[in-house]
Amino acid sequence: MPPPLLGRRALLAAGLGPAVAACARPAAQSGPAGAEARSAPAVDRVRFAWADVGVPTPFRVSTAGPGGPVLLTLLYDTLTWKDDRGIIPWLASRWEVSPDGRDYTFILVPGARWQDGQPVTTQDVAFTFDYYARHPYRWMSTAMVEAAEALDAAHVRVRLKEAYAPFLEEVAGVAPILPSHVWAQVDDPSTFDGAGASLGSGPFRLAEYRAAEGAYRLSANPDYFAGRVVVGELQQLNTAAETRVLAVRQGELELAHTTDGSVGAALKGDSRVKVLETEPLSVVRLAVNTARPPLDRREVREAIAYALDRARIAAVVTKAPPVVGRDGVVPPGSPWFDPQAASRAFDPARSRALLGGQRHTLELIADPMDREPELMQPMLEAVGISLVVRRADAKTRTQLLREGRFQLGQLQHIGVGGDPDFLRRWYTGQETNDFAQGFTFVDERYAQLAAAQAAALDPARRRELVWRMQTILAEQLPTIVLYYRRFYWVYDSARYRPMNTWGGLMNGIPLVQNKLTFLAR
Amino acid sequence: MCRLLIRYACLAAAVLLLNFALPRLLPGDPLDLEASDGLNAAVAPLTTAQRLQLREQYRLDRPLAEQFVQYLSDLARGDLGWSISRAAPVGALVAQRLPWTVGLVLAATLVSALGGTALGLLAAWRGGQLERLVVGAAAGLAALPEFLVAMALLLALSVGTGWFPLQGARTAFAAQPPGLLGWLETALDLSWHAALPAATLALTATAPFVLLTHGAVRQVLLEPYLTTARAMGLSGARVAWRHALPNALPPVLTLFGLRLGHVLGGAIVVERVFALPGLGLLGFEALRARDYPVMQAVFLLASMAVLLANLAADLAARRFVPGPA
């Protein structure tokens, strides 16, 4: 018999997530489920590098990147959480899902308290979803929730407008539960910074936010329901990207990240400073405007894919062993990855054959700092495609892509590691964000599959649908994935041990300061 | 004088209009979220409904003329608006950053102006090898970008040696002991952190003062009244300080005025490399985020500071320029 969590992971990987996780053991027996991930050294202080993410409340924190929402996970709790092997119970010790997938009944863990000592109640949970309906949490929409109701002191039911398969991971595991005694009186949370604005039930409480410096000081919550917090104080400091790794080496920080894959070699032999590399949860890809000639022809898109030596591009830019882009978009290593989905290997002869001797000139919109275009130009030129690179900052690029004023656009972003519903969101046009920018792909079969997988309650069935979506993406190439990126977290191993989270923190975020890393077990 | 003031008042009005118009002429939308470093284009899934709601909240859905009138009206009441990207009042954001920028840039400007002027004067007055050395070094320094100087100082004086911190404006969350000792400790900590950024700014800003003063003094040295002063038996130092320098000063004062005007514009490169919470970086980040209210506030401060500094330099130059006999 396999160990329970490993078994759960394997089942989740096979797409059996929600149904199985609902049967997971209660959380509050000896600390939270999954807290046995690894031991955390007990230290007085851990400092890590990030940027200023604004006022740390769910309604004012910056959602222009994952740093703000991740900071909130240390102050607040969610109903579910994730360890390195899958979804685990958290504020909800367990849950039941109705046969039609619309009702989630969560059983609240006993003993959870807000940082002002008041108990976390089912009314708080119901209030949270009601409040988010009026004042959205911008990191993750809760729009699929129809209503939430506290059934008794232990049970709370969340009713969805329709079945939504990613609910446990992408909503219950992301939306911070709010103290109703604080927020019920707040009409405009977007300006509220009064008492309790950052009050959660999480492992840390906000001790100080220095707005000018973008620096946060969090102190351990001595009454944390899920276990003893072994780090006395946590500081998130606004630091320059150029000096972050040096700062860890000099002992000014305990944790910082870089995308430079050569950092491992540079730190080899250092007995104190170590590197933890994440799964390749970030993607660098070309958005293809399939509505504009000649890219409306599949053979031209295919020719581009064959012409690009993606392994070389990845190796040069990341300075690390490449994780070559897959035409089905979902990265290898994701439990949703379809190994059967075709992907085009570097084959210039085949590319030339597809173009049939025709020459094309294509325009690529890229960031001024992107190095990939220079590498792609000679590769494409060799098959008869002249690549004109137009550099533009992020805002300009986004506007051009949103308005369809482009042929090719280079994008890089996270969000490909978590639940595969991103495949629907990118291509349904329901969201006006960078993930969806540059979308011009219209495919009736794909749209039907996308809708069906989002509502698929049978995990095996869902996996099959997601795989079929990958097959269509690989066939049609509305986007060409160049490569997947890892993040390299440099840390002081004597004082802190970061961890990788299954599918990335929350909805696929490659940050490693999972709240479990601060807990004793 | 009156004409001068009217000219500056017209310029100020034009600056106001430009401050409002320029951010809106840029391509891009403040509501298109952009990721912080390292995780580019990783943004929250903002739904179309949320987007429309935010557009209304920030009054971006109103006609431009109405937005401009509102901007002027808010400004008249001292209200700089609400930051779109930071969800905070702009006035507070500016006030938090102002002391860091003013302290750092002002100190560096004063040091570079005084030091550069003295060196330029010395080089021109003494001539010979010293002149070649000073002018050569200044010309070389002027060619170095700020970023390079900052990184060189970091590598030489922080990395490895650990003499100075790599970043930050002060030791994060350090407790201040009570009393005078506490204040002294804080002052020392601030100075320790400010040393490398200030040195970077001072080094790069000194060169123009050296070269300008040197050139101006060299020109003045050819004037016959200096020969007369020497013939009257005045000491070399007295001739240099009392007669040569004042007459060479107007262009140096103008440069000083211009530099001073840039105090409120901040020092983007230095603030970024040393992770200092200055106005320059705030403005730069606002530009990247197309955060109109913050852009307007930072640009307004910076441009008004330049205008005022220029006005002061104009007035000072009138006083120092020798009038008709």
Chain A residue whose CA is closest to B51: A432
Q: What is the pLDDT of residues B126-147, one digit of tens each?
A: 888 888 999 999 988 888 888 8
Dump the DSSP string for B157-201. HTTTT-SS-SS-SS-TTPPPPSHHHHHHHHHHHHHHHHHHHHHHH
Lowest mean per-residue pLDDT among A210-214, A436-440, B18-22, B193-197? A436-440
Query: Using CA atoms, how far apart are residues B101 and B279, in angstroms rounded to an integer?
Result: 6
Spatial contact of A453 and A165, defined as CB atoms under 8 Å apart: yes
Distance CA A336, CA A298 (A): 25
Residue ranges of B 111-170 with Cβ closer than 8 A to chain A? 151, 154, 158-159, 162, 165-170
Spatial CA neighbour of A279 closest among A82, A91, A450, A458: A82
Residue of A nearest to B96 (CA): A212
Contact A68, A50 (CB under 8 A): no
Which chain B residues touch A425 with a CB distance below 8 Å?
45
Q: Measured between alpha carbons, how far is B267 from A468 in angstroms, rounded to an integer? A: 53
Interchain proximity B39–A246, CB inside 8 Å:
no
Reported ipTM: the value is 0.76
Cβ within 8 Å, pair A208-B290: no
Structure tokens at B145: 């970008």
3-class state of residue B290 by DSSP: coil
* Residue B141 φ/ψ region, left for φ over 0, alpha for ψ in the -120 to 50 degree band, beta for the rest: alpha
Say yes or no to pLDDT of B38 above 80.
no
Contacts of A235 in chain B (CB under 8 A): 172-173
- Render A462-491 in DSSP notation, one character per residue: HHHHHHHHHHHHHHH-SEEEEEEE--EEEE
Q: Is A153 on the interface with B (CB under 8 A)?
A: no
Q: Which of residues 95-124 of A touch B (CB under 8 A)?
A: none
Distance from CA of A427 to the nearest CA of B (A): 13
Question: Given this model, what pLDDT does residue B47 score?
Answer: 65
Interface-testing mutation among A259, A278, A431, with chain B (most B C-beta atoms within 10 A): A431
User: Residues 172 to 191 of A: which have CB under 8 A from any B CB?
Assistant: 190-191
User: Which H or E element spans position A80?
Assistant: strand A80-82
**Enclosing H/E stretch for A285:** strand A282-288
At CB < 8 A and 24+ separation, what contacts does B143-151 make? Answer: B144/B204, B145/B269, B146/B200, B146/B201, B146/B204, B146/B267, B146/B269, B146/B270, B147/B269, B147/B273, B149/B200, B149/B203, B149/B204, B150/B196, B150/B197, B150/B200, B150/B269, B150/B270, B150/B273, B150/B274, B151/A242, B151/B273
What DSSP designation does A120 have?
P
Let me know if B314 is exposed, middle or buried by CB neighbors in 10 A (0-12, 13-18, 19+).
middle
Q: How far apart are CA A196 and CA A210, in angstroms?
A: 17
Residue A258 DSSP SS3: strand
Residue A455 burial (CB < 10 Å; 0-12/13-18/19+)?
middle
Is residue A81 within a helix (H) or strand (E), and if so which, with residue range?
strand A80-82
As a whole number of angstroms, the distance between CA A307 and CA A384 comes to 10
Taking CB atoms and an 8 Å limit, are B85 and A64 in contact across chains?
yes
Query: Encoding tokens for residue B309?
Result: 């500094």
Q: Which two tokens stand for residue B281?
A: 């970086």
**Tokens 């305990």 sit on residue:** A254
* Residue B83 DSSP class: -
Contacts of A428 (CB under 8 A, 6+ apart): A436, A447, A450
pLDDT of res. A59: 92
Q: What share of chain B has pLDDT > 90, as a percent?
A: 21
User: At what angle are helices B292-320 and B2-25 packed, to 10 degrees?
Assistant: 160
Residue B127 in tokens: 């001539």
pLDDT at B103 over 90: no
The number of beta carbons lying within 10 Å of the beta carbon of residue B8 is 15
Question: Cβ contact (<8 Å) for B96 and A212?
Answer: yes
Q: Residue B102 to residues A434, B75, B183, B209: CA-CA distances in angstroms?
A: 37, 22, 20, 20
**Residue/partner pairs of B14-17 with CB below 8 Å, 24 or more apart:** B15/B300, B15/B303, B15/B304, B15/B307, B16/B72, B16/B75, B16/B300
State the DSSP string of B225-270.
HHHHHHHTT--HHHIIIIIIHHHHHHHHHHHHHHHHHGGGG--HHH
Residue bearing tokens 């730069």: B284
Contacts of B93 in chain A (CB under 8 A): 211
Mutate to test the interface with B, among A242, A260, A406, A422 (most CBs of B within 10 A): A242
What is residue A312's predicted lDDT score, i.e. its pLDDT? 97
User: Chain B residues with CB inside 8 Å of A245's CB?
Assistant: none
At B59 the three-state DSSP class reads coil
What region, left, alpha or beta, does residue B87 occupy, with left being phi > 0 and alpha being psi -120 to 50 degrees?
left
* Exposure string over A36-55, b if 16+ CB within 10 A, otherwise e: ebeebeebebbbbbbbbbbb
CB contact under 8 A, B173 and A215: yes
Q: Is the pLDDT of residue B42 over 50?
A: no
Give yes or no for residue B56 having a pLDDT over 70: yes
Q: Are B196 and B104 in contact (CB under 8 A)?
A: no
Q: Is A405 on the interface with B (CB under 8 A)?
A: no
Q: What is the DSSP letter of B322?
A: -
Question: Residue A425 and residue B45: Cβ atoms within 8 Å?
Answer: yes
Q: Which of A277, A432, A489, A490 to mutate to test the interface with B (most CBs of B within 10 A)?
A: A432
Per-residue pLDDT at B46 exceeds 70: no
Query: Are the beta carbons of A196 and A179 closer than 8 angstroms?
Result: yes
Residues of chain B positioned with their CB less than 8 A from the CB of A145: none
Mutate to test the interface with A, among B24, B33, B102 (most CBs of A within 10 A): B33
Structure tokens given for A442: 């219209």
**Spatial contact of A479 and A295, defined as CB atoms under 8 Å apart:** no
Buried b (16+ CB within 10 A) or exposed e, B15-31: bbeebbeebeebebbbb
Mutation for A interface: B25, B36, B97, most A CBs within 10 A: B36
CB A218, CB A75: distance < 8 Å:
yes
**Res A225: pLDDT:** 95
Asked whether the bond before A189 is cis by omega within 30 degrees of 0, the reply is no
What is the C-alpha separation between A305 and A348, in angstroms, rounded? Answer: 9
Which one-letter amino acid corresponds to residue A137? Answer: Y
Mean pLDDT of the residues in chain B: 83
**Each residue's pLDDT tens digit, B105-120:** 888 888 999 999 989 9
Contact residues, chain A, for B43 at CB < 8 Å? 63-65, 413, 433-435
A485 bridge partner residues: A282
Q: Which residues are paired to A105 by β-bridges?
A: A96, A157
Sort strands A360-366 and A385-391 into parallel, antiparallel or unpaired.
Answer: parallel
Interchain contact, A65 vs B165, CB within 8 Å: no
pTM, two decimals, is: 0.83
Given a cut of 50, is residue B36 above it in pLDDT?
A: no
- Residue A443 in contact with partner chain B when CB distance is under 8 A: no
For A260-371, where are the alpha helices, taking DSSP H only?
Answer: 263-266, 298-307, 310-318, 348-355
Per-run averaged pLDDT (10 residues), chain A, 521 residues: 34 39 36 45 89 91 86 97 94 96 97 96 98 88 93 97 94 97 94 92 96 92 95 93 88 92 91 93 90 93 97 95 94 88 93 95 94 97 97 86 87 85 74 50 87 92 96 93 95 95 89 95 69
Q: Comparing C-alpha atoms, which of A183, A187, A158 is closest to residue A76?
A: A183
Tell me the residue type at B115: G
Beta strands in A129-272 (DSSP E): 145-150, 155-160, 204-210, 215-220, 231-238, 255-258
- Name the one residue in this structure whose structure tokens are 């709790």: A77
- H helices of chain B, in order, are 2-25, 48-57, 64-76, 90-126, 128-142, 146-157, 179-221, 224-231, 236-238, 245-261, 268-273, 279-289, 292-320
For the segment B50-58, the average pLDDT, to the nearest whole number, is: 79
The answer to which of A16-30, B52-66, B227-241, B261-275 has the lowest mean pLDDT is A16-30
Encoded tokens for B192: 């320790």
Cross-chain Cβ contact A212/B57 below 8 Å: no
> Which residues contact residue A68 at a Cβ distance below 8 angstroms, ignoring those fewer than 6 apart?
A53, A54, A56, A61, A62, A139
Distance from CA of B20 to the nearest CA of A (A): 18
Which strand ranges, in their side-by-side order, compose the sheet holding A360-366? Answer: A385-391, A360-366, A408-414, A282-288, A479-485
Q: Is B141 exposed, middle or buried (0-12, 13-18, 19+ CB in 10 A)?
A: middle
Rounded distance, CA B32 to CA B282, Å? 18
Q: What is the model's pLDDT at position B34?
A: 52
Residue B34 is nearest to which of A66, A395, A400, comparing CB atoms? A395
Q: How far is A287 from chain B (nearest CA, A)?
A: 13
SS (H, E, C) A376-417: HHHHHHCCCEEEEEEECCHHHHHHHHHCCCCCEEEEEEECCC
- Give A-chain residues touching B173 at CB under 8 angstroms: 208, 210, 215, 217, 235
Which one, of A159, A183, A182, lies nearest residue A171 by Cα? A159
Q: How far is CA A449 from CA A461, A463, B217, B242, in A?
A: 11, 11, 80, 86
